[in-house]
Amino acid sequence: MSDVHGDGGSFELPKQTTIYDVAKAAGVSPSTVSRTFSRPGRVSNRTAAHIRKVAAELGYRTDRVHQQAAPTHTHMIGLAVTDVTNPFFFSLLRGAEQVCTQHGYALMLFDAQESGPREREIFERALPVLDGVVIASSRLSDTALRGFAKKVPTVVLNRVVTGLPCVVSDYERGVRRALEHLAGLGHRHVAYIAGPPASWADGARWRAFHEAASDLGMVDCRLGPVMPTVRGGEQVLPQIHEHKVSAVIAYNDLIAIGILRGTAAAGARVPDRLSVIGFDNIFASDLVTPRLTSIASPLGLVGEKAARSVISLIEHHDEQADFMEPLVMPMRLIERASTGPARA
């Protein structure tokens, strides 16, 4: 409060409601409040009506908006990933960056390090300076993601969140094709090597695996979970031997590469002893020995689609709730040397 002094003493000037007060009460960013009053066409009708209602209740003077408004457009988009060192994100990042550059946006990369709390902290700090955000393989709850989407245009990758724009891969088709390949090689006892428990994609891949294995008359099991790293693949080997399976499909290529390394270190050979299939077809899949069979999705195109979607939300004011169906990207099996006939 400010004190004003006169001959009769002092009095306090009433506190004026600011754009930041309105933003906090409405659950949106200050830039969204600014756009509501200064550039109405840039905010959806539903969001604008909510902000105007809150502003009226707080006694906010809209004629002051230009004096205190936050920047209405930063031309910055955030891309949050679970592990920046995972090669899975390399092509995805390149695809998103190219589209952002074409449309005059800068792309900021955030590394959640497989931590939900860290991911939440990153968003809470960064959202005020972002026009939009792409969230890849989030470990947060659907409720948390919807909460962020109320504040800034949001697109989700590798996960389905009802009411939000989502880009996912066709896991059912990809996994079924991989199991058909193994069945054709005579494999009947197969295992899925699970990744992080908080991963939506892990659950979707396991369900696709179990359903396809049942349809093909295969005996299946789920092993793990393990960290989505080479070390995680090495650590799951005792479980593989215990269950006496002849083939495995891993949550990702890094786990599969760890299985290759661990098997070789034990003096056994892939695919003579065990057939191994990974997920994502990262560049290292073609460099290891034996070369890794992998289920591939067009990761560069996934990144491009996500960037175009969030830019459309920013520039054309599409309602997030209008995206009722996820965009499903095709998958295919890349056959290499890590799969072979089952031992008699």
What phi and psi values does residue 244 have, to the nearest 5 degrees?
50, 45
H or E element, residue 34:
helix 30-38
Instruction: Please report which confidence band the pLDDT of residue 294 belongs to, taking 50, 70 and 90 as the band edges.
Output: very high
For 279, the 3-state DSSP assignment is strand
CB atoms within 10 A of CB 77: 27
Q: Nearest 5 degrees, angle CA 186-CA 191-CA 192?
A: 130
pLDDT tens digits, one per residue of 316-342? 765 554 556 899 999 999 999 999 999
How much is the pLDDT for 51? 86
Q: Is the pLDDT of residue 20 over 60?
A: yes
What domains, with CATH codes, occur in the chain? 3-68 (1.10.260.40), 76-169+299-329 (3.40.50.2300), 171-297 (3.40.50.2300)
How much is the pLDDT for 67? 43
The CA distance from 90 to 100, in Å, is: 16
How much is the pLDDT for 47? 82
> Among 86-90, 148-152, 189-193, 204-208, which stretch is predicted with the lowest mean pLDDT?
148-152
Q: Is the pLDDT of residue 63 over 70?
A: no
pTM as predicted: 0.78
How much is the pLDDT for 37? 75
**Tokens representing 243?**
């269950």
Mean residue pLDDT of the chain comes to 88
Mean pLDDT of 303-308: 96
The CA distance from 239 to 206, in Å, is: 17
Strand partners, 278: 294
Q: What b/e sequence results for 166-198 when a residue is b if at least 16 CB atoms lie within 10 Å of its CB, and e otherwise?
A: bbbbbbbbbbbbbbebbbeeebbebbbbbbbeb
Identify the top-confidence range among 9-23, 133-147, 305-319.
Answer: 133-147
Are 275 and 303 spatial neighbours (Cβ–Cβ below 8 Å)?
no
Instruction: Please report which confidence band the pLDDT of residue 46 belongs to, taking 50, 70 and 90 as the band edges.
Output: confident
